[in-house]
Amino acid sequence: MGDRKFTLTVLGARGSVPVSGSEYNIYGGASSCYMVEAGEQVILLDAGTGIIEAPNLDHRENLHVLLSHPHLDHIIGLPFFPELSKKDRSITLYGKKLNGESIDVQIEKAFSQPYWPLTIAEYPSDFVYVDLELPLIIPDDGENIVIEGISLCHPGGSLGFSIKYCGKKLVYFTDCELSDEPDEKIVSFIKDADLFLCDAQYTKEEYAKRKGFGHSTPETAIKYSQAGAVKKTLLIHHDPFRDDNALKKLEEKLGRDDITFAKAGEKIEII
């Protein structure tokens, strides 16, 4: 009988571009990557520079990397993912076909000469690309991990995911521009989530000047989380120009325990 845990660890919650410096210690500077542990399975959501912080995963049989979309801030950490350099380590990367182009073509385009000396498939690990078909079902010791997806509004498109395991539900909405009035289809997708990660890159004032950039505000994220009766919400994809002090202030203004900005290294136990 496997361990029935279901957790999420924030490895990187910074949006658009990684940042560094002591003013980013709390909320972190690494770009998008979240580690989900469900039973014995490890699912990494996106492969921004946060993936470099992944713990040693030697004792895990298979690793799954799930991409929301191939924008650079979500894949740039991939060549430095420590597990890629381990011989015989099995890694599966799932991503959606875009304009008829398979995920391997999308990624190898970014990581091949002259932009990078070797392709991801050339690393020592046993690495495979899979064009994502939804729902994706990953079996784990008699239980299924069921992953569903929904298209979100973002330049070039982005996928939101729900991950269900042992009756619990996690929803991951990175890069998305949610409508001000909650969309019914999206609300039903996030309905009753135990944990909801939602893009909240811009303040209301910033958003007024950046409509169409494909990102949301804390206010909109909260509207959706309330409409979906979500238990806990983590606001993600922090703007690179927002340091710890600025994020802390925004968080204090919200004054909620159940809606907070994701912090570097934070681990949430759903089960």
The residue ranges that bind Zn ion (CB under 5 A) are: 71, 73, 175
Reference 103, options 82, 76, 128, 78; nearest CA is 128
Smallest separation (angstroms) from Zn ion to the CB of 89: 27
Cα–Cα distances in angstroms (integers) from residue 109 to residues 70, 83, 154, 249, in the given order:
11, 21, 21, 40
Residue 121 or 153 with smaller CB distance to Zn ion: 153
Phi, psi torsion values for 141, nearest 5 degrees: 45, 55
Neighbouring C-beta atoms of residue 170, cutoff 10 Å = 26
Is the CB of 37 or the CB of 73 nearer to Zn ion? Answer: 73
Q: Do you know the residue count of the chain?
A: 271
Q: Find the shortest distance in angstroms from Cβ 201 to Zn ion.
A: 8
Q: How far is the CB of 61 from Zn ion (least distance, A)?
A: 30
Smallest gap from Cβ 16 to Zn ion, in A, equals 6
Closest CA to 170 of 252, 228, 130: 228
Shortest Å, Cβ 248 to Zn ion: 22
Give 154 or 169: the residue with its C-beta nearer to Zn ion.
154
Cα–Cα dist 120/135, whole Å: 25
CB 46 → Zn ion: shortest distance, Å?
Answer: 8
Nearer to Zn ion, 73 or 194 (CB): 73
**Residue (39 or 70) nearer to Zn ion, CB:** 70
DSSP class of 30: S
DSSP designation for 54 = P
Closer residue to Zn ion (CB): 73 or 83: 73
- What residue is closest to Zn ion based on CB? 71
Instruction: For residue 102, give the DSSP letter.
Output: -
Is residue 66 within 8 Å of residue 100, measured between CB atoms? no
